Structure 1
Amino acid sequence: MNRVGALVSLWCYEDSWLRTFAKYLLKFLGYVSCCSAAALAFGGVSVSVMYRNYRYLFQKTFLCLPGWLTIGAAIILLPTGLLAISISAKTSRYKQGLLMYLLLVLLCLEMSSAVLAQLYSLQAPSELKSTMGYLIYQYNRSPSKDPGVRVVDMVQRRLQCCGVQNYTDWLKTTVPSWYILAGSAHVPESCCKETYSDCMGDLSHLDQIFQEGCLKKLEDWIQFLMLYVFWYCVVLSILGLLIFAINGLLMRQQPLPDLRFLESSSYTFTEAFRYH
């Protein structure tokens, strides 16, 4: 009986140590989740703002969807981290169940965002190239109030670029158009550098205009945001699975009853058995 009592005591000690370690790890992961919520929200907001600014260029790709899903995941991630910290301080079955539910919702949102981000990062460049090429061709024959004209000017001013691949895209149309002024070729004034107030887009003064195309700049920015959302969601999904496993361990391992009384009563029990 002494050996049984010793084994029970060792079991209780190991179980207590494991639970203590799991709680500390859960608390640490909870803090990490709270801090990560801001970074995840930044990625979602950046994607949404980019889509709002350049939505005219994305007619087939619903690029704002991964942004909205990421923002939703960030909103849920903050209370999830706080709940994990709370559970590490005081275990509660209700809180543990709620944490499991929030982690499942988070996993769905994060994986959906990651898949869409990866998908759109492959589809967006071809759509951008096609749409921008069409808008620049139509720009040559469109009135100044056309929304496509405003979009092209806005993109070129904001990204400090000119044309799709470069400024020569404005000269590739075979139809005589507005860009031939006074016998010299011109590009839109939105291609002009801000430091030259007298710039009229005359190609005889290349130093006054931006020569790099807009497509590469937009592609680079989209690829950066999509990769940011993709990898952040993947890492946080792994983090969520780890929290899920630790919380499940704490839910399964309940404190064992104190059986050390067997050691003190073993002698009495044996003697009583012999007596009878």
Structure 2
Amino acid sequence: MYITLPAVLAICSGAFLFVTGCLGSWMHLKDSSCHQGLFVYFLVMVFCLQGTASLFAYIHYKQVDLEVAPISEVFQKYTGSSQDINSRTVDMAQEKLLCCGVHNYTDWLKTSWFIQTGGLSVPHSCCDPIFSSCNATVNQPWLLYKEGCQVKLKMALQVMLHPIIWGFQLVYLTEAAVLLVMRRLMNEQPFKTHQALHKY
């Protein structure tokens, strides 16, 4: 249900990282303790956002089978109408993911749409475009996509989540190094001494 949340958090952390980089470049021109503190604050914000995105991505990666399980309900609601959102979703999924049915084309034989249309063919979105003669009939299954959409969708989600989980580990190391450098720079910065003004 919230499968896109890790991607949204990753985009937000990328935006924060961009702002932090701009602040870091500006800070180079204007030496200020306030700007250095703000820079560290933004780095911590990026670190927290990336950590949350990685955690959610890991959770969804482990539960991806549960995430794609409702796909069979969408296939059961297929009507073949371009006005129906379920039908458009199914056709788009089969065309984009190069798949047919939930597990394979035989899943269509159990749908009410298949029975109502005479039980002769599956949706044309099941046709493999390399076969121009494909008319989506069930007596020519070799012209249809071989794999089901559940496996393809699972693989697509795992491909999306995998970089979020592992790619940010390099960013963590980079941020840790930057924070250590910033700490050293802030410690080496001499404190300004305040003196009372004397009246002459």
- Alpha-carbon distance, 1:62 to partner: 1.9
Unmatched 5+ stretches in structure 2: 192-200
2:88 corresponds, among 141, 150, 158, to 150
Q: Is 2:109–2:115's contact at 8 Å kept on the other side of the alignment?
A: no
Q: Is 2:80–2:113's contact at 8 Å kept on the other side of the alignment?
A: no
Distance in 2 (CA, whole Å) between partners of 1:189 and 1:171 is: 14
Distance in 2 (CA, whole Å) between partners of 1:229 and 1:175 is: 39
RMSD: 2.6
Q: Say which is worse superposed, 244-253 or 87-96, in terms of deviation.
A: 87-96
SS at match of 2:122: coil
Q: Do the aligned partners of residues 152 and 88 (structure 1) sit closer, same or farther apart at CA in structure 2, a change above 3 Å counting?
A: same
Q: Is 2:114–2:121's contact at 8 Å kept on the other side of the alignment?
A: no
| Structure with the higher fraction of residues in helix conformation | 1
Instruction: Show the 5 A alignment for 1:49-88.
Output: 61-85=1-25
The answer on 1:137 being equivalent to 2:76 is yes
TM-score if structure 1 supplies the norm length?
A: 0.61
Distance in 2 (CA, whole Å) between partners of 1:214 and 1:134 is: 13
Unmatched 5+ stretches in structure 1: 1-60, 257-276
- Alpha-carbon distance, 1:163 to partner: 0.8
Q: Which runs of 4+ in 1 moved over 4 A?
A: 85-91, 173-176
Give per-residue Cα distances to partners, 1:24-68, cap 9 Å, x unaligned: xxxxxxxxxxxxxxxxxxxxxxxxxxxxxxxxxxxxx12232222
| Paired letter, 2:181 | I
> What is residue 104 of structure 2 aligned with on the other side?
166
Instruction: Show the 5 A alignment for 1:182-221.
Output: 185-221=120-156
Distance in 2 (CA, whole Å) between partners of 1:237 and 1:162 is: 41
Number of corresponding residues: 190
Q: Is 2:100–2:145's contact at 8 Å kept on the other side of the alignment?
A: yes
* Structure with max Cα Rg: 1
- Alpha-carbon distance, 1:226 to partner: 0.7
Give per-residue Cα distances to partners, 1:210-258, cap 9 Å, x unaligned: 12111111111111111111222233123212211210111112369xx
Distance in 2 (CA, whole Å) between partners of 1:200 and 1:168 is: 16
The answer on 1:226 being equivalent to 2:165 is no
TM-score if structure 2 supplies the norm length?
A: 0.81
2:170 corresponds, among 214, 221, 235, to 235
> What is residue 187 of structure 2 aligned with on the other side?
252
